[in-house]
């Protein structure tokens, strides 16, 4: 399948398959559960969540344990990862690129974690619009943060990792969004480490 950007081709193919093998396990799910239990404290009445770029569902595993009655949906470009998502059960899966996905309904939470950093910067506005359109109430962004845009080498590959103030750009783009909460999780956290992730919870007013 042909994609619009080199980043999509990269993640849909062999590198994306290898990523699955490097990133799995109960410890990751436990860390995600700790993270989302904190984020969800600043929300209310969550009955549906859609995750942009779910991979094999390590975030959705955690969310399912915290919100067992919530309707969960996922967008995933990699075929092998989407197959793993199906094993979780009770998740509506869109096996497609985020850039090809068009929201047809709203969810209480639109979530993206560790994915915006891998999106071609020229396409970020399109992704922001999809996140906004998919959200009924909240948008959760959890990514590497930098106050200004910067591109870094990612496992020996150029143009595959970008850091910037994603949440700030969304707040500027959509005036009816407000910042509800934010935080940072260190990779050397004693109990529930994340990969130096900065998270932001935004709400539609």
Q: Are 133 and 114 in contact (CB under 8 A)?
A: no
Tell me the per-residue pLDDT of 99-124, one tens digit each, with 9 for 90 and over.
999 999 999 999 999 999 999 999 99
49-104 pLDDT tens trace: 999 999 999 999 999 999 999 999 999 999 999 999 999 999 999 999 999 999 99
Question: Phi first, then psi: what are they for 73, rounded to 5°?
Answer: -130, 155
Task: Give me the pLDDT at residue 114, please.
Answer: 97
Residues 183 and 38: their CA atoms lie apart, in Å, by: 9
Fold of the 6-204 domain: Rossmann fold (3.40.50)
On whether the CB atoms of residues 182 and 165 are closer than 8 A, the answer is: no
Q: For residue 131, which phi and psi values (nearest 5 degrees)?
A: -60, -45
**Using CA atoms, how far apart are residues 114 and 130, in angstroms rounded to an integer?**
16
Tell me the whole-structure pTM to 2 decimals: 0.96
Q: How far apart are CA 74 and CA 93, in angstroms?
A: 5
Backbone dihedral angles phi then psi of residue 70, each to the nearest 5 degrees: -75, 145
């Amino acid at each position: 399948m042909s994609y619009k950007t080199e980043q999509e081709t990269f993640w849909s193919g062999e590198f994306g398959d290898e990523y699955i093998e490097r990133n799995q396990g109960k410890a990751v799910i436990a860390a995600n559960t700790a993270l989302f239990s904190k984020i969800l404290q600043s929300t209310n009445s969550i009955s549906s969540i859609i995750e942009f770029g779910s991979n094999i569902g390590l975030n959705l595993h955690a969310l399912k344990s915290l919100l067992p009655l919530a309707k969960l949906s996922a967008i995933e470009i990699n075929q092998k990862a989407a197959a793993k998502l199906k094993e979780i059960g009770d998740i509506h899966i869109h096996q497609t690129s985020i850039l090809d996905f068009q929201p047809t309904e709203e969810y209480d939470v639109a979530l993206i974690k560790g994915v915006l950093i891998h999106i071609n910067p020229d396409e970020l506005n399109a992704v922001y619009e999809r996140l906004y359109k998919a959200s009924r109430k909240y948008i959760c962004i959890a990514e590497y943060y930098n106050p200004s845009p910067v591109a870094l080498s990612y496992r020996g590959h150029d143009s595959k990792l970008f850091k910037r103030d994603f949440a700030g750009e969304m707040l500027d783009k959509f005036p009816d969004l407000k910042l509800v909460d934010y935080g940072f999780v260190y990779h050397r956290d004693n109990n529930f480490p994340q990969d130096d992730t900065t998270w932001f919870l935004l709400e539609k007013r």
